[in-house]
Structure 1
Amino acid sequence: MTEDEAQAWLQEEFDVPRETWERLELFVALLRDEMQRQNLISKASADSLWGRHVVDSAQLLRYAPDPTAGKIWLDLGTGAGFPGIVIALLTPYHVHMVESRKRRCEFLNEVIDRTGISNHATVIADRLENIDSFPADVISARAFAPLDRLIPLSHRFSTENTVWLLPKGKNAVRELKGLSPKRQKMFHVEHSLTNPDAGILVGKG
């Protein structure tokens, strides 16, 4: 997927209003600038930021519940803002982004402030195990931990209706097989739009 194709897909899929598009562009510009000071994404993917990161994040919305007001999206290990910032820019979800690294938290808070999404986007600057539980409608984790660690760490934030959206790259099936049979039944694998060899684990419960 080229950068032009990525942007065209976003426009077609979400009918992105001009103001939202400008916020997405600002986020990308802030990210490129911050990359001069800290390693936020791999240098190899910097030239395909819209495809490898923005669309890769936005595609998760195809499997998420309708983002009506008040619904909570919990993003684990948000890092440079993927998918948390992208979800907050495109939807009214209340997005809680868990990130323990101080400099990345500072960057995320700057993006939230500069893009004007502070009314429904929050950075939780701590390790997940230190955070009090709350029920989430969606739990996502793009590069947080292997599945056999991720589920035990984060399951206390889920309800029977929680949707799990976990991009796992080429390891999706292998990681899923590492879970107990009961946990395996929670999930199925969807192919990633941005990489046909990559999988997204979609689960409920």
Structure 2
Amino acid sequence: MTLLLDSEEGARAWIGEAFAPTARQWQQLDRFGAMLVAENARQNLISASTIPTLWVRHIADSAQLLSFDRDNEGLWIDLGSGPGLPGLVVAILCDRPMLLVESRKRRCDFLRAVVAEFDLRHVEVAEAPLERIETRPASTISARAFAPLDKLIGLSTRFSNESTRWLLPKGRNAVKELALLPEAWQRMFHVEQSRTDAESWILVGVGQIGAKQRGK
């Protein structure tokens, strides 16, 4: 049974137990949270109602994706990264190369500001629609709030290979969206409960959807 995180203290304690952050990583997570709240007053990055539970709803919610993918070491691509959720949280907690794909300039400006302040040299910000991003092989593909599942996979499968790990939080509609996919696509995934919401789910998959599968 998944341990649900229902308090800010609980979220911080789980991150400490799961990832054993260094003092510098804790400092960066705290600073990132503060920067996120401050920037939210200038542009809508997160719902204002979630600010009092920032560590549960955003920091731990992002960090839990890393817990499903600790063995990989290659490129992680975060689609529609927005304010860096989950990409920047993951990048603070590990040094894997990270590509944050975001098409909106103001959000990219925020991402670059965080990357520069924290000296996250393993992080690249790609300011462009996904369709214009040069194809490169990804070990992991994540997307927290990017597109409907069928469109998401269709647009991003060119970055995947047979060992690519897909980490796709889809909220309460995860099972429903998965059921609408062609059977060949469905077989790639299983469903994991979110640690931050008893009614939210994460699609975890491994593999690549080829042209023949897309046609089925």
Pick one of 183, 186, 202 that aligns with 1:184.
Answer: 186
Q: Could you tell me how far apart the structure 1 residues matched to 2:72 and 2:55 are?
A: 22
Query: Does the 8 Å contact 1:164/1:204 carry over to 2?
Result: yes
TM-score by length of 1: 0.97
Q: Could you tell me how far apart the structure 2 residues matched to 1:9 and 1:67 are?
A: 21
State the partner residue of 2:36. 31
Write the mapping of 1:49-198 to structure 2, written as runs, cut at 5 A: 49-68=54-73, 71-117=74-120, 119-198=121-200
SS of equivalent to 1:82: coil
TM-score by length of 2: 0.92
Q: Could you tell me how far apart the structure 2 residues matched to 1:127 and 1:48 are?
A: 30
Query: Does the 8 Å contact 1:186/1:204 carry over to 2?
Result: yes
Pairwise CA distance, 1:116 = 1.5
Pick one of 28, 33, 44 that aligns with 2:49.
Answer: 44
Unaligned runs of 5+ in 1: none
What letter is aligned with 1:35?
N
Q: Could you tell me how far apart the structure 2 residues matched to 1:194 and 1:6 are?
A: 8
State the partner residue of 2:23. 18
Unaligned runs of 5+ in 2: 1-5, 208-216
SS of equivalent to 1:129: helix
SS of equivalent to 1:190: strand
RMSD: 0.8
SS of equivalent to 1:148: helix
State the partner residue of 1:9. 14
Change (3 A) 1:4 1:65: closer
% same residue = 50
Q: Could you tell me how far apart the structure 2 residues matched to 1:12 and 1:64 are?
A: 16
Query: Does the 8 Å contact 1:67/1:92 carry over to 2?
Result: no
Q: Could you tell me how far apart the structure 2 residues matched to 1:67 and 1:116 are?
A: 22
